[in-house]
Structure 1
Amino acid sequence: MSITFSLNPQVSLAETDDGAVLLHARTGRYWQLNTTGLSVLRSLTSGQTCEQAAQTLASQHAIPAMHARNDIAALLASLRSADLLRESR
């Protein structure tokens, strides 16, 4: 069974020149993502698995896959703890 990700319905995303800004309507807090973070978020919310997103990130930036997996795990942990991202199985 794979995990799917989506933005919290109370979160809006606005793209910027250097990534995106996320606004949580309930809390009024903003978060900024750089272009790489936005790319990973889009990959995950479009149905890619964490492993697929990590492979894409690794190949785009010529970094080891383990490094990409760790970076994605850290991003996911931050997005979840801020109640920006939802997951379902």
Structure 2
Amino acid sequence: MEDETETVCRVCGYDDEVFWEGGWPTAAICSCCGNESDVGDASVMGLRNYRGYWVGHGARWRSPLAERKQKSQGWDLLQQMANIPVQWR
């Protein structure tokens, strides 16, 4: 049986939370883009709209603490978005 745990945000590619487990949303809110699992990412069209809105408005971080931590480590938006699984791009 395949493990259905998703730790990568389907919208922005941030990998720091369990967003989906066993095929079910965990209601986790992404520290980067602010998406809540199963709200903006339940369909490919929905997450593309959310992603476009988020990037179009400057790709601002939801959590300033997480932002400082990532940016101090040389954060790169495009590199992070490369983490998004192919089926959710």
Same fold (TM over 0.5): no
More strand by share: 1
TM-score normalised to structure 1 length: 0.32
More helix by share: 1
TM-score normalised to structure 2 length: 0.32
Q: Which of the pair has the greater relative contact order for Cα pairs under 8 Å at 6+ separation?
A: 1
